């Protein structure tokens, strides 16, 4: 997932915040080798599984 997220993350995180106002910049802070922690944090806040989050991230426009 790392390679996929790195390419468009800055563009998509703003759109995620608009769609889910409960998440913060800190929740969306992306660091190499820390994707799993970010996905877990987002999943906890949004009540989503990692697979659901990947689908959301993949389809957000």
Q: What is the pTM of this model?
A: 0.71
Give me the residue label for tokens 């608009």.
18
Number of C-beta neighbours around residue 39 at 10 A: 19
What are the residue ranges spanned by the domains of the chain?
A: 2-59
**Chain segment 10-59, per-residue pLDDT in tens:** 788 889 999 999 999 888 887 777 888 889 999 999 999 999 998 998 88
Q: How distant is the alpha carbon of residue 39 from its chain centre?
A: 6
């Amino acid at each position: 997932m790392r390679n996929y997220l790195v390419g468009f993350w800055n563009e998509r995180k703003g759109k995620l915040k608009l769609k889910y106002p409960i998440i913060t910049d800190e929740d969306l802070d992306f660091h190499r080798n820390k994707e799993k922690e970010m996905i877990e944090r987002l999943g906890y806040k949004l009540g989503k599984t990692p697979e659901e989050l990947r689908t959301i991230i993949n389809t957000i426009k």
